[in-house]
Amino acid sequence: MRTKLSYFAALALLNVLVTGCANVENKFGRGMANTFEIVRGGEFRRSSEQAALFESPDTGYTTGFMRGVDHTLARTGVGILEMVTAPLPPYHPLFTNYLAPNPPYPDNYTPGLMAGPMYETDTYLGYGGGDVAPWVAGSRFSIFDTH
């Protein structure tokens, strides 16, 4: 048992040295973003919006709702899979024929940077711009929007 454990430790160390950190970081970060999709609800909002615009408003409430639930659960599952398998190849996004590589936003809203001292360039004045609450679904209020 002790020799198997030492072989496994050597194999794990070799895997870390061969793969590098950038691929693992990208895959794990993408997995975290996809796992958070169930809370964020971007797939759900986008699917409902797209069905209402391109099919009919009634379809947005029915088919768009079900398509949004399906895509949200699929993206959450892919995110969990990517987080668990982050140290293992392949490092490219999975299931891209069904889901976009990054979590989507509805076409009518793309968030900016969050308002706070980390991203503000004018902290010495005491105010800055960005989204007030981007984690809240439907929050589209921005302060000091200059573009």
Q: Which helix (H) or strand (E) holds 22?
A: helix 22-35
What is Dmax (Cα atoms) for the chain? 64
What pLDDT band is residue 78 in, cutting at 50, 70 and 90? very high
Q: Is residue 73 over pLDDT 90?
A: yes
* Cα separation values, 97 from 18, 34, 137, Å: 29, 16, 27
CA distance linking residue 61 with residue 44, whole number of Å: 11
What does the pLDDT look like over 22-36, one tens digit per residue?
Answer: 788 888 889 999 999
Sign, CA dihedral 147-114-36-79, equals positive
Task: Output the pTM of the full model.
Answer: 0.63
Whether 122 contacts 143, CB under 8 Å: no
Q: How confident is the model at residue 59 (pLDDT cuts 50, 70, 90)?
A: confident
Q: What is the pLDDT of residues 100-132, one digit of tens each?
A: 888 887 777 777 766 666 666 555 555 555 556
- Give residue 108's pLDDT: 73
Could you tell me how many helices (H) and strands (E) the chain has, helices first?
6, 2
Average pLDDT over residues 45-64: 89
Between 144 and 70, the more confident residue is 70
Kindly tell me if the per-residue pLDDT of 138 is higher than 80. Answer: no
